[in-house]
């Protein structure tokens, strides 16, 4: 359905009872007669025509109008109708809301010389059909309009983290990175972990409906049920862990999942992975290789022997300038989440001291942080322990 | 970039001026209130101020003192406190069927596009507040609604309120703010107001830790954190640090505690004074409610001179515990043996069907927001406590 500037959405009119075309003519004649011969009587009402007026290119900001003619409009003016009482004549509903006990949509009514306008309090929802109804003693008419969804490219699943095809048996977190914003609902039905024999792992994720989405709604964090990965805990005993070392699985993200505009994903994505033994140790920054830049345009590269949590790795390492302020730049994560590559936004200043620090909150894919392991023997970490540690200082020489 | 010379003090600056500055700094240092130094757990600047309410999303609701309604905005990482007028009249006495369809009709979407987030009953007049998300994806909108004693649904026009706003800093510790915490999501899962303080539980998408945030109300500029750890369902040797999902203030042996349900699903008690005085605390696990489950709501209530606790589970039904059984378990050592699906405090499932939210309505009734087994629609229904 095309919408032009100030476009009118074509309505499917369903005039009932006294408002057939033939009767409209008859009614019109009656109005004429009434006006000519019986000026003191109340004008007979003609069934109004209903329209949906929309703003430029944005169907969701529309207003519904009933063209009444000046006579009827003038009579209604004397009734002093309010936003609460107008719906007895003119009401708008989502088309699925057919029951008599459904309240009409909230909004503002405005009576003009020849028509009444209804502006909904909430934007119209793309993909939803609306029904406007005029109802009075003498006329009843209704129309429906479907608000089109905007035409956009289908959204893709761009990446599944961990990127490695070998996942630890006690994996805590999976990230799904999409090309555009997604519906925050539907993860429960749309993501499956399937064994080689085709059976589906039951309830692998905890609280997927809790919306661990990033602010842009294009990255979802899924937590594998931690009760099933911990040793000796109820779920682990009765159901077994979600993933078993030595087995092969497939993670399946179904295309039926809707994106932020209510459209399905472009395709179903399947990725195979093999499960290796559990990782129960904290990452150890002392074993990392730090490749400090030598010239103002060199990147800073940190390499970990084992994969780290994709998002944690990206955010929990900082380069500080000599004032202790974080240096702005672009981080990229490569090598199956083992390489952290940092390009400063402006070249390194020759002769100036920089320091690389890592937060103790940095985690590996199994939820072991620098601070503590996911499962810890019964001791408290010292609360005075520093929250981060240095990975070294550097300065670069002038280029050439 | 400033050149090096710009930040170097002029050698001509008189020594006397430097000495004077040093004295002033020392005086300021020692006259600063001691509690400023003690607040080592302060999460950071969180300037609370009167602000227009601009919700990016809507989640947990909680009534505080005298008509103050706390409204959380998980995506906006904020909690608002607004003073709502006392709703008049009697409390809801009849069920409201097809709640989602009716709300959808008012807001202009199909009932399936209404996602209920939380419910709170104004303890003064019984007016029911419900937070919903209308629609999903890019067009999702947060809406706060009321349901009066006649079952009439209205929207709350948040533009007419001036509220106090509390920003929830994402970084758990002040020193962590060197790092990029802005991208982290902290989803508020429960709010409780206790003795001048708002307690906030939530999940983070990047750090799997149990951190309870506490903010004095009226809000000032502080959010304090306490790490709440548990001896998870008796695995003898190991402790873990799963996040709290829902919790409630609860009196045990005359002393204020928190009764908290963790992810999948240990039930744990913490003495409130220790929550306030320590930065890390290990709770006592008194029950295991089963794997693959979340406790979405906990409601202590009193009926016929006996105290009970109702716990709404998302997959394991709504259960009822006797307060005296909870007290007995809390007086013991807690769970230390290997636990399977169910262990600890005895409980039974109450005959209410699927429940999303639960609130105390009055001395005789609780209010259920449930899902009909007939047609899957949502309903609101007052239930006599004697039938639970």
| pLDDT tens digits, B4-14 | 333 333 444 45
Residue B355 lies in a domain: no
Same domain, A383 and A295: yes
pLDDT band at A180 (very low <50, low <70, confident <90, very high): very high
Last residue of a domain, one of A100, A124, A146: A146
Give the count of Cβ contacts less than 8 A between chain A and B.
245
Helix (H, G, I), strand (E, B) or coil at B221: coil
Please report residues of A whose CB lies closer than 8 A to that of B231.
378
Same domain, A290 and A261: no
For chain B, give the mean pLDDT.
Answer: 81
Residue A372 lies in a domain: yes
Q: Is A154 on the interface with B (CB under 8 A)?
A: no
Of A128, A183, A215, the CB nearest to B109: A128
Same domain, B207 and B336: yes
Residue B365 lies in a domain: no
Same domain, B195 and B161: no
CATH number for the domain that contains residue A175: 2.60.40.1220
Residue A124 lies in a domain: yes
Contacts of residue B184, defined as CB under 8 A and 6 or more positions apart, other chains included, come to A315, B170, B171, B204, B205, B206, B207
pLDDT band at B44 (very low <50, low <70, confident <90, very high): very low
Enclosing domain of residue B110: 46-168
E strand segments, B168-265: 186-194, 197-204, 211-216, 224-229, 238-239, 244-252, 255-262
Residue B7 lies in a domain: no
Strand order across the B186-194 sheet: B186-194, B197-204, B211-216, B224-229, B280-282
Same domain, B185 and B306: yes
Residue B288 lies in a domain: yes
Q: Give phi and psi for B76, each to the nearest 5.
A: -80, 0
Same domain, B187 and B159: no
Same domain, A52 and A139: yes
Enclosing domain of residue A90: 12-146
Average pLDDT score over residue span A196-214: 82
- For B181, the closest chain A residue by CA position comes to A315
Q: Is A356 on the interface with B (CB under 8 A)?
A: no
Of A101, A230, A235, the CB nearest to B292: A235
Residue B380 lies in a domain: no
Last residue of a domain, one of A257, A276, A295: A276
pLDDT at A6: 33
Of B101, B180, B234, the CB nearest to A97: B101
pLDDT at A227: 65
Please report residues of B whose CB lies closer than 8 A to that of A126.
139
Please report residues of A whose CB lies closer than 8 A to that of B153.
103
Task: State how far residue B170 is from chain A, nearest Cα, in angstroms.
Answer: 13
ipTM over 0.95: no
Determine whether the interchain pair A122/B232 forms a contact, defined as Cβ–Cβ distance below 8 Å.
no
Of B139, B141, B185, the CB nearest to A126: B139
Token pair of B233, please?
């369902």
pLDDT band at B202 (very low <50, low <70, confident <90, very high): confident
Last residue of a domain, one of A146, A168, A203: A146
Whether pLDDT at A1 is above 60: no
Of A207, A258, A359, the CB nearest to B179: A359
Average pLDDT score over residue span B277-301: 84
Average pLDDT score over residue span B343-361: 91
Average pLDDT score over residue span B286-295: 82
Same domain, B272 and B151: no
pLDDT band at B266 (very low <50, low <70, confident <90, very high): confident
pLDDT at B49: 59
Task: State how far residue B302 is from chain A, nearest Cα, in angstroms.
Answer: 30
pLDDT band at A203 (very low <50, low <70, confident <90, very high): confident
Please tell me which residue, A35 or B170, carries the higher pLDDT value: B170
Number of domains in chain A: 3
Of B109, B179, B240, the CB nearest to A94: B109
Please report residues of B whose CB lies closer than 8 A to that of A316.
179
Same domain, A272 and A289: no
Percentage with pLDDT > 90 across chain B: 48
Same domain, B158 and B288: no
Q: Is A318 on the interface with B (CB under 8 A)?
A: yes
Please report residues of A whose CB lies closer than 8 A to that of B132.
none
- What are the pLDDT digits (tens) for B52-63? 899 999 999 999
Please report residues of B whose CB lies closer than 8 A to that of A170.
none
Average pLDDT score over residue span A250-274: 95
Same domain, A142 and A33: yes
Number of domains in chain B: 2
pLDDT at B61: 96
Same domain, A388 and A293: yes
- What are the pLDDT digits (tens) for A286-315? 999 999 999 999 999 999 999 999 999 999
Whether pLDDT at B151 is above 50: yes
Same domain, B225 and B337: yes
Same domain, B343 and B240: yes
Average pLDDT score over residue span A282-288: 95
pLDDT at B66: 86
């Amino acid at each position: 359905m095309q919408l032009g500037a100030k476009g009118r959405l074509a309505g499917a009119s369903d005039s009932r009872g006294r408002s057939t075309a033939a009767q409209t003519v008859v009614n019109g004649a009656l109005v004429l007669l009434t006006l000519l011969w019986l000026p003191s009587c109340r004008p007979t009402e003609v069934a109004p025509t209903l329209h949906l007026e929309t703003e430029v290119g944005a169907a969701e900001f529309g207003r519904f109008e009933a063209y009444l003619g000046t006579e009827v409009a003038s009579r209604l003016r004397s009734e002093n109708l309010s936003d609460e009482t107008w719906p007895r004549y003119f009401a708008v509903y989502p088309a699925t809301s057919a029951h008599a006990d459904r309240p009409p949509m909230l909004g503002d009514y405005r009576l003009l010389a020849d028509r009444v306008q209804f502006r909904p309090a909430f934007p119209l929802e793309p993909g939803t059909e609306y029904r406007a109804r005029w109802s009075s003693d003498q006329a009843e008419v209704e129309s429906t309009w479907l608000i089109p969804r905007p035409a956009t490219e289908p959204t893709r699943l761009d990446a599944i983290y961990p990127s490695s095809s070998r996942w630890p048996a006690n994996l805590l977190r999976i990230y799904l990175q999409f090309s555009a914003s997604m519906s925050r609902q539907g993860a429960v039905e749309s993501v499956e972990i399937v064994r080689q024999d085709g059976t589906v792992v039951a309830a692998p994720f905890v609280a997927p409906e809790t919306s661990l989405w990033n602010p842009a709604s294009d990255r979802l964090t899924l937590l594998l049920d931690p009760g099933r990965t911990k040793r000796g805990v109820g779920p682990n005993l009765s159901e077994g862990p979600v993933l078993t070392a030595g087995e092969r699985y497939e993670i399946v993200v179904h295309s039926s999942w809707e994106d932020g505009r209510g459209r399905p994903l472009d395709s179903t994505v399947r990725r195979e992975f093999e499960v290796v033994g559990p990782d129960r140790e904290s990452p150890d920054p002392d074993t990392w290789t730090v490749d400090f830049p030598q010239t103002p345009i060199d990147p800073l590269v940190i390499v970990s022997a084992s994969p780290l949590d994709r998002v944690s790795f990206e955010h929990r390492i900082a380069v500080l300038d000599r004032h202790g302020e974080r240096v702005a730049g672009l981080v990229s994560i490569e090598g199956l989440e083992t390489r952290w590559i940092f390009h400063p936004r402006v070249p390194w200043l020759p002769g100036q001291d920089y320091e690389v620090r890592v937060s103790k909150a940095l985690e590996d894919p199994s939820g072991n942080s620098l601070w503590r392991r996911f499962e810890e023997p019964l001791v408290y970490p010292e609360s005075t322990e520093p929250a981060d540690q240095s990975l070294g200082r550097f300065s670069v020489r002038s280029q050439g | 970039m400033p050149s090096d010379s710009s930040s170097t003090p002029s050698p001509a600056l008189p020594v006397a001026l430097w000495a004077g500055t040093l004295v002033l700094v020392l005086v300021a240092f020692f006259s600063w209130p001691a509690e400023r130094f003690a607040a080592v757990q302060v999460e950071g600047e969180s300037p609370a101020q009167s602000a227009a309410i601009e919700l990016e999303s809507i989640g947990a609701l909680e009534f505080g003192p005298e008509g103050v309604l706390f409204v959380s905005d998980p995506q906006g990482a904020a909690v608002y406190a607004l003073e709502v007028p006392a709703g008049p009249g009697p409390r809801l006495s009849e069920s409201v069927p097809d709640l989602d369809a009716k709300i959808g009709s008012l807001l202009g979407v199909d009932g399936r596009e209404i996602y209920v987030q939380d419910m709170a009953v104004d303890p003064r007049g019984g007016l029911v507040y419900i937070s919903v998300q209308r629609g999903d994806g890019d067009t999702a909108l947060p809406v706060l609604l009321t349901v009066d004693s006649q079952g009439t649904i209205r929207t709350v026009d948040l533009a007419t309120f001036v509220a106090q706003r509390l920003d929830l800093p994402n970084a758990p510790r002040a020193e962590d703010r060197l790092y990029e915490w802005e991208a982290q999501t902290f989803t508020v899962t429960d709010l409780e107001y206790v003795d001048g303080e708002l307690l906030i539980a939530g999940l983070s998408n990047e750090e799997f830790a149990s951190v309870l945030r506490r903010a004095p109300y009226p809000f000032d500029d502080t959010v304090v954190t306490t790490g709440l750890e548990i001896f998870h369902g008796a695995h003898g040797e190991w402790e873990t640090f799963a996040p709290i999902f829902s919790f409630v203030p609860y009196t045990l042996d005359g002393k204020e505690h928190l009764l908290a349900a963790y992810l999948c699903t240990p039930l744990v008690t913490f003495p409130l004074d220790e929550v306030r005085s320590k930065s890390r605390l290990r709770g006592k696990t008194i029950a295991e409610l089963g794997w693959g489950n979340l406790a979405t709501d906990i409601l202590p209530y009193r009926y016929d001179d006996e105290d009970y606790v109702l716990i709404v589970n998302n997959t394991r039904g709504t259960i009822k515990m006797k307060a005296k059984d909870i007290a007995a378990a809390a007086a013991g050592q807690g769970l230390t043996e290997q636990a399977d699906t169910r262990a600890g405090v005895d409980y039974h499932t109450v005959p209410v069907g699927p429940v999303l939210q639960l609130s105390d309505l009055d001395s005789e009734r609780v209010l259920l927001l449930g899902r009909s087994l007939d047609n899957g629609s949502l309903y609101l229904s007052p239930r006599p406590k004697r039938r639970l």
